[in-house]
Structure 1
């Protein structure tokens, strides 16, 4: 069974991250499956808008830590980077509905999507440092551009939860809505956008995004280099063991 489901209706490609038992966390297969779905959207003239959401009550809990607990593997970076390549290259507008957990990639991918509607139950968190790794998806540059240096440093160093209201104020979303209404509202926004002229939509998104693509590429290159150092390191493995043991990690 695929971890990603898709439908295409009225020029809206609805893509669902479908691993609700793990709050839609990503394993290697899911990285590739979502990348493939976004690549299809990019190359399909019938797709004018992508509507992205998570199955059930959560958007995305980021990396599946049970995979990260394994010894360092190149494949874990390759699948993730393929997904980011597809997301950054996508000229189709992306509307999201964000409920519940938005952890790690569940937060940082919103820096690359376009119209993010936020449920009032959403919790944003980037626990890269607490997990003994580093920021990803160009977030080391994009979060600073949106939040400023001081707020970004505090958010990333502590790994704390960001509220829906704070996320909207920071430019990660456009509005906070009741959790039980956000999916329907976001789907309607996607349909409304899809009624527009397709070439104008794609060109406008390209104009909005092209100015930051060089900065994103440079930030991602730095992040990948640092991530390779930390993935599977003693700090990373201790943080993951502590997570599963439900204890405070010990970094000697």
Structure 2
């Protein structure tokens, strides 16, 4: 059938067909490299995390970071390999990318600041996965740290993604950093009640709960004289994990112990005087 074509067309086909076949083969190989590269990058991330899981006391936050870093590096090499398959000179491409890096960096300086902040967070480690922190004006439990963002979960299990630059650029409050924390409760009693008896009742409540630490020693003292109550401050140390459960239980038990001991907690009373009509 090709013999029936004009000689000029046959000559052009003789030149183009090998190029088309070669281009088609290169396209299939490039797509295969791309698919295998993405698959291999994901597998390497999983393998890296699994390998780091075998290292004792290795932080989960670092595991995810290094796993993600390996994935991105493999993806970069995959893209370069695909471009090389189409005849693109990767060396010159890298040089061009390097020359354009400054302009691109200025254009995406916000994104780069998130990467830089993520690296600083990994170096100085102000928090770890599982810590309850307030960062970037948002409080929550740290779930993950990536190159660009920090993932937090609020107490009601709502996911919040915070840019790393906001986390690093603002004060970070880590409520889980120290093994013990101090609970402070202020309770007012009536002026007519026995202050010493009230303080003894509070001390009995503290001593009855093993979650209250004896060292540092608890503190119970009169904080102030209010408009309608004598305000007693109670300070007790406990394990960080017990902070909120003990605070809730202690508030309830002190109130119940006051009721049994005849100690009253005053509440605002308003007296209204009405004038008699003449």
TM-score w.r.t. the length of structure 2 is 0.22
Structure of higher CA gyration radius: 2
TM-score relative to the length of structure 1: 0.24
Greater relative contact order: 1 or 2 (C-alpha under 8 angstroms, separation 6 or more)? Answer: 1
